[in-house]
Amino acid sequence: MNCVPALSALLLVAAGLLSAGPVQADTARAEPGGKASAHLNFRILVPAVAQLESNQHPLQTVADDLDRGMHRAEQRLVVFSNLRRGLCMQLRLALPQVSGWQVQVADPASASLTPLGGDGYRLCTQRIGRTAIALVHRFEAHGQTQPLPWPVQTDLHAI
């Protein structure tokens, strides 16, 4: 009969289920009239989350000052994080023909913005939960009055 291998496999599974895993219990048996005690140790692990939920910006920028070739565009980011120290994003130029890039946070209470040198900014928020951040970009494209593809690359970093 094939009952013996099936029974031994069932016993192995039952032993695995009954063995102590992430939750451990400790009990003691008390004599009649004595005291009994028990305790449980629970450990709940919440995974770290840093997520860019939305990155809305125009597909192209258009020069609003044709004499100087300045391009202006707005970007809206929505991020979610449960990290205690918050999260940061690096914004950097992806088009070599764009220069004179300036960024401002529309609501400085939502995030902080720090220049990283010639071609980047560090955008950070220390809020836990969902945060909406509105940015205003200005670009200078020398002699470029035609629409430009979106020139900013956004990279998310946990801190």
Rounded Cα–Cα distance for residues 132 and 56 (Å): 11
Rounded Cα–Cα distance for residues 1 and 150 (Å): 71
The pLDDT tens digits of the residues spanning 8-58 come to 555 555 555 555 455 555 556 667 776 767 778 888 888 888 889 999 999
pTM: 0.67
pLDDT of residue 35: 72
pLDDT of residue 158: 64
Rounded Cα–Cα distance for residues 14 and 8 (Å): 10
pLDDT of residue 29: 65
* pLDDT class of 122 with cuts at 50, 70, 90: very high
pLDDT of residue 1: 47
Structure tokens, 23: 């939750």
Query: What does the pLDDT average to over 130-141?
Result: 88
Beta strands in 10-151 (DSSP E): 24-27, 38-41, 50-56, 60-61, 63-65, 70-81, 87-93, 98-105, 112-115, 120-125, 129-141, 148-149
Is 5's pLDDT higher than 90? no
Residue identified by tokens 């005291």 is 35
pLDDT of residue 80: 92
The pLDDT tens digits of the residues spanning 80-114 come to 998 888 889 999 988 877 778 889 998 888 899 99
The pLDDT tens digits of the residues spanning 59-87 come to 988 777 555 667 888 999 999 998 888 88
Taking alpha carbons only, the member of 90, 138, 129, 92 closest to residue 110 is: 129
* Sequence-separated (6 or more) residues with CB below 8 Å from residue 44: none
Query: What does the pLDDT average to over 109-127?
Result: 87
* pLDDT class of 7 with cuts at 50, 70, 90: low
